[in-house]
Structure 1
Amino acid sequence: MQTHLHGNNSSLFIEYNGVGGGRVKLTFHQVMSYGWVGDYDCLLPESDEFEFGLIEIFDSERLRALATAKVERIPGMELEGERVVFRGDVVIHHYRLGFDDHGTYDVICGDPVVISTSAVES
């Protein structure tokens, strides 16, 4: 599933229990598109303790497609050299999140992700 918000300035919040029981909150602002991409396959075979991963994809074919394709193009999104911008001034980011035993999600948004943590309350 892929949801296109067409620049509605929406935010996406994801919270989960981190290692040691603390809470981790990811905040994505100016979300243009998000969705589940598939099952998570850990790329590190020596690591069976994987819980969560977050990367930014810099050379994103998905971003280029959203900026240039005729069918699924998001209005206002343009390819500008090596980067994709929205309405001329907002640089667009492509993040991929992986949750062990759950799956992988892509988030395309205008602001860098904000990561906040909170300690376990005693």
Structure 2
Amino acid sequence: MNKKILVIDDEDDILDFVERVLKDAGFVVYKAKDAKQGLIVLQTEKIDLILLDIMLPEMDGWQVMQMLKSEERLKKIPVAMLTARVDAYDKIIGLKEGAVDYICKPFTADDLLKRINDIFLYIEKNNL
């Protein structure tokens, strides 16, 4: 069965690019422009990976991470930060909060796919 990935980002061009790249690679993709839309998807779909932007309207990515990790049903879903914030402090915070990866914008299609495939490979090898 194809892996389901939820992309939460408020930039349409990023959402469309990531969707195209991932769909072409065989993933099922759900898009959300903000945390509220993302949470609606999470109520109805079993998601295998979340790509989460930090800078979102209303609720930022850090708040979303904290909420995901506090809910039993959602806390095991791996989250990779997908963001333009490139300083080391943000990366440390993201990984400390439980992110499995920190993907900096801009990125290429090849880089995105490699990182996502590496995440799924790691999960599979470690029975997570």
TM-score range, shorter chain: under 0.3
Higher strand share: 1
Scaled by the length of structure 1, the TM-score of the pair is: 0.26
Structure of greater Rg: 1
Higher helix share: 2
Scaled by the length of structure 2, the TM-score of the pair is: 0.26
